[in-house]
Chains A and B, each alone.
Chain A
Amino acid sequence: MNLKQARNFLKEVEPFLSSDRPQLVFDMSQVRHIDAGGVDVLLQCMREAIKHDGDLKLASVSPQAAVVLELTRTGRLFEIYDNSTQAVKSFSSFLPNALKHYYPHPAHHVTPIINPEAFVGGSDSADVAA
């Protein structure tokens, strides 16, 4: 993902980011190359999502992209999951008990694949991230 591709991508994603409480998962399995422009766009998306009280998570990050995220110190800013299903499910993990009755989901445990040392406790990562 270079600067030009990243800008086009940002235009496509913008309507979702500006919605109320956007909960987005970017499946990065097809991203083999990412440069500073691509990382910048990911950060912009994250910023916009947080501004609207939402969140952005990454899934299926390729080792190549993971190296660049680690290099640019941005890997620790995102919750990263093995696949998009886990990432989507993780959004409902943090519902209050009262609402879990209406949004049931199977018990699961997610483990970030990138930068596990950033999450103290390893397997307790979901709690820490919450």
Chain B
Amino acid sequence: MVKNKIISISIITVLVIGGFFLYRYFFPNTERKIIRHLNSLVETVSFARSENSSGQIATALWAERLAEYFTENATIMLEDVTEQIWSLNGREQLKQTMLAARPRLESLDVSISDPVVFIKSSTTGQATVTIKARWQEGELDSNFWAREAVFELEKRDQQWLIIKVESVPVIRR
């Protein structure tokens, strides 16, 4: 009798917890949508060594897909490994830069961690994340770069687009 009760309670607990996670997955709140959008961006930008033998058309499609995460006049200002600010203005410049960069890289692995999302209004939001990037150029050892960055996003036609990305100077001269 008691054993059956414990089993019933355990099953109900698992169902409730499972239901909660399923609900969160299929009906994400705004913060979760923004984090998913950023995770999707870094998955799109990343490529393995085996994927890098693709031709110019594939590279162009890759750059085009990347650019679609941003607004037409988005700005990107990121600190590179030498602490110089690497700056891009607009989708077109982003596309051209990525088109030029890809052939030089053997692989690129980008991820984000520790996201902190702030919803400013129903159509604007901000996400502070740590971006990690590992890449390989030719036969050289892989390079690693990590920086905190703030993404400003705007909702257009039910889709969150990035207006601005800027490094946060955690350690500054």
A and B, one complex? no
